[in-house]
Amino acid sequence: MARYKHVNHDQMAMVPVLLEEQLLPGTLEYAIDHIFGERLDLKIFDARYCKDETGRKAIDPKVLVKINIQWRLYCLVHNPEKIFTFGKTYAEARA
pLDDT above 60 (res 55)? yes
Distance CA 4, CA 55 (A): 11
| DSSP letters spanning 21-44 | HH--TTSHHHHHHHIIIIIS--TH
pLDDT above 70 (res 16)? no
Rounded average pLDDT over 27-36: 84
The confidence score (pLDDT) of residue 9 equals 75
Cβ atoms of 29 and 13 within 8 Å: the answer is no
Within 13 A of 86's CA, how many CA atoms are on the CB side?
12
pLDDT above 70 (res 52)? no
At residue 74 the predicted structure's pLDDT band, cuts being 50, 70 and 90, is: confident
- Tell if the pTM clears 0.75, that is, is over it: no
